[in-house]
Structure 1
Amino acid sequence: MLFFLEKALFVMIFFRVLSGSVEVFAAYLMFRFNDLEKAIIINSSLALIGPFIFILTTIVGLFGIADKISFQKFIFILLGVCLIMFGVLKGE
C-alpha cells in the first residue's frame, strides 16, 4: 500500500523522528558514561534542542496549511507558540 504524504507533513515527521533519535542517543550516552554530572549536562543540552524542534515543526506545519487558514488565524497560532515558549523558558 502506497501512502501519499504532503511535503510539510513528511518534514514534520522527519524532525520528530530525528528529535526522538537524539533523545534515545542521549539516554544511551547517560547510560554509557554512568556519571550524574555528565548526565545533567546531556539533559541540559536536550532542553535546548526540544524547543527548537517544537518551533521548527510548528513553522513547517503552518506553512503547509498557510493557504487554508486566514491571516488572522495564522497570527494567533504564531502568537500562541510564542506564548508557550515564553512560559516555558521564562521559568519562575
Structure 2
Amino acid sequence: MLNKFVMAMVCLRVLSGTIEIIAAFIMFRLNQVDKALLVNSALALVGPIILITTTAIGLVGMADKLSFSKLAWIFLGVSCLFIGILKK
C-alpha cells in the first residue's frame, strides 16, 4: 500500500506536469509571442507553489522522523533556493 504523503506528492507533480503540457498546447494554438509569454508567465507562479506544497507534504510526512535541527537545515536550504531564484 502506498504512503498517503507520497501519493499526495505524486498527484501534485502529475498535476504540475499536466498544467505544463496544457500550457504548451495553448502557446502552440495561440501562435503569438506576446500571448505565449503571458501563458509562460502564469507558469512561473505554478512552479513555486507546487514546489512549496510538495515539500511541505513531504516534511509533514517525515516530521516524526526528523529532529528540530534537521528541520531547521531543511528550512534554511529551501530559503536559500527561493532567495537565489527570486533575488534580482
TM-score (norm 1): 0.92
**Among residues 68, 80, 85, which one is paired with 2:77 in the alignment?**
80
Matching residue's letter, 2:53? L
Shift of 1:63: 0.5
Q: Deviations over 1:53-75 (max 9, x none)?
A: 10110010001001011111011
Match for residue 25 of structure 2?
Answer: 28
SS in 2 for 1:5: coil
Query: Which consecutive residues of structure 2, in runs of 5 or more, have no partner in the other structure?
Result: none
TM-score (norm 2): 0.96
Distance 2:60 2:75 in 1: 11
Match for residue 41 of structure 1?
Answer: 38
Match for residue 51 of structure 2?
Answer: 54
* Equivalent residues in 2 for 1:2-17, closer than 5 Å: 4-17=1-14
- For these two proteins, the number of residue pairs brought into alignment is 88
Distance 1:25 1:78 in 2: 32
Matching residue's letter, 2:3? E
Distance 1:12 1:87 in 2: 24
Task: Provide the aligned C-alpha RMSD in A.
Answer: 0.7
Among the aligned pairs, what percent are the same residue? Answer: 50
